[in-house]
Amino acid sequence: MNAAVDRDVTFVMDAAQFIVEPPDLWSSRVSAKHRELAPKVVSLPGKGDAWAFEGGAWLRPLGLEAVAGQGPLEIQDQGLGYADIRRGAYEPKERLRDMAVDEVDMASIFPSFGMSVRNIQDPDLHLACVQAYNDGLWEWCQSGDARRLVPQALIPATGVTVAIAELDRVAKKGYKGMVFLGYPGQGMDPQAEEDPFWARCEEAGMVVNLVRGGPVGPDRTPMVPRRWVGESAGNVRIVDTPLEVMWAQAASINNVILSGFILTGILDRFPRMQLALIDAGAGWLPNCGELLDWNFRYSRYIKFAKLKHMPSDYIRRQVKATVKGERSTIENRHDVGVGALMWASHFPNSTTSWPTSPLVIEGQFHDVPEDERRFMLGENCAGLYRVMPVTSRR
């Protein structure tokens, strides 16, 4: 018997894990007419596997999404095959085993390559791929442990009617949260015509997740490094962003979508709707709140929606955010809100704390009272997505 069994165990729900999509996730689900252009895995000679989008117009090699457990000297951003990565990245039963090692009871599951469905331009194909993803992820979680793996659905950003239909479909399946891929009306900012969509989100209790703060702007053209542009012609923008800039972007603060939800009054009109910032940092939220209050106070007469409260009130009432290893955020937890913070491991991508999460948690939360710790380590997350906490180790 392991001594840990007798320990008083704090329930841990990981607020940000990612599925590395199984190779047949789309090909086994889309109809025959979309099979050619739906995302599929291709082998690059001597360079491992890559996901090919829109019939190979652009590629995303298997890399940093799937290197859990590797140190800085080993990790690769390309050249990996599915055979080289942890099976827990793409097999649900294996995922549960990896979670047990890391002393994580439950996890909220976000897309890795599924995020790129946003960049598929053809609306039929786009919707077909969104639906296949939502069906596939749902089944993936069911075949693992439906109580412990909590999936997050994609919602197409190709029109309000389509978005509402897919929202209703996934809500009926049992999804509790959605990934924001852009305003459903496809604009730069929220439109009044989209209110029925937000009303449905509120009514269905569907959490709106802003991964890395959410994509900014309606342009869905894929931005691809030159070396990953495929041979078949496609509508892509070639960008060769230096690695250093990409790292700075990853650590940076994206508060644009959040500000849009507040300043155009969405959170005011739909007071029970909940937003979650996933892998976007959390320490900046109170600062953002006081500065938005400031801007709102003098600009409300000419610019923004009429609001019943100050912008920071909506942040406190309707926004949660994940926190990983940022100690300063835990020190400032009473400013951010103990009820707003959700611990996350980011398994299995390159920034994950796996398999040392218990140590990271101890280091980060060692001086935090047990009741506050419980909220941030799991109960906030379970409450947000309205799932029953299941402590696997008791």
Partner 1 sequence: MIPRVFDTDQHVTPPPDMWTSRMARKYADVAPQVIELEDGGEAWSFEGGTYVHLFGMENLGGKDPAEYGYRARYDELMPAFYQPKPRLDAMDIDGIEAALLFPSVAGHMTVIQDDDLYVECVQAYNDGICDWASDGDPKRMYPTALIPMVGLETAMAELARVAKKGFRHFQALLSPKGVGYPTQEHDPFWALAQETGLVVSLHGGGASRAKHPTITTHEKKAEIARPRPIASEIAIASVRAGGLGSPLSLGIFILSGIMERFPRLKFGMNETSADWIPSFLERLDAVYTQHRWLGEQQLRMLPSEYFHRQVKTSIDREMLGVKHRHQIGVDKIMFGTDFPHSGNFYPHTRRYIDLLFHSVPDDEVHKILWQNAADLYGAN
Which residues of the shown chain bind partner 1 in the complex (CB under 8 A)? 64, 72-73, 75-77, 187-189, 216-217, 241-245, 247-256, 258-260, 263-264, 281-284, 286-288, 290-292, 294-304, 324-329, 331-332, 335, 350-351
For the CB of residue 72, give the shortest distance to partner 1 in the complex, in Å: 5
The residue (of 142 and 351) whose beta carbon lies closer to partner 1 is 351
Question: What is the rounded CA–CA span in Å between residue 223 and residue 171?
Answer: 31
The residue (of 92 and 281) whose beta carbon lies closer to partner 1 is 281
The residue (of 248 and 359) whose beta carbon lies closer to partner 1 is 248
The residue (of 177 and 283) whose beta carbon lies closer to partner 1 is 283
The residue (of 167 and 278) whose beta carbon lies closer to partner 1 is 278
For the CB of residue 195, give the shortest distance to partner 1 in the complex, in Å: 15
Cis before 311 (ω within 30): no
For the CB of residue 27, give the shortest distance to partner 1 in the complex, in Å: 30
How deeply is 272 buried, as exposed, middle or buried, from its count of CB atoms within 10 A (0-12, 13-18, 19+)?
Answer: exposed
The residue (of 136 and 286) whose beta carbon lies closer to partner 1 is 286
The residue (of 100 and 216) whose beta carbon lies closer to partner 1 is 216
Query: Helices marked H in the chain — which ranges?
Result: 32-35, 92-101, 123-145, 160-173, 195-204, 243-251, 256-263, 266-269, 285-299, 311-318, 327-331, 333-336, 357-365, 370-374, 380-384
Phi, psi dihedrals of residue 151, rounded to the nearest 5°: -80, 155
CB 21 within 8 A of CB 284: no
For the CB of residue 137, give the shortest distance to partner 1 in the complex, in Å: 26
Per-residue burial over 118-143, b = 16 or more CB atoms within 10 Å of its CB, e = otherwise: bbbeeeebbbbbbbbbbbbbbebbee
For the CB of residue 93, give the shortest distance to partner 1 in the complex, in Å: 28
The residue (of 134 and 349) whose beta carbon lies closer to partner 1 is 349
For the CB of residue 76, give the shortest distance to partner 1 in the complex, in Å: 8
What single-letter amino acid sits at 170? V
Closest CA to 66 of 107, 95, 97: 95
> How many alpha carbons fall within 13 Å on the CB side of residue 345?
32
For the CB of residue 158, give the shortest distance to partner 1 in the complex, in Å: 19
Bridging pattern class, strands 106-111 and 13-19: parallel
For the CB of residue 247, give the shortest distance to partner 1 in the complex, in Å: 5
Tokens of 4: 């840990």
Find residue 153's DSSP bridge partners: 178
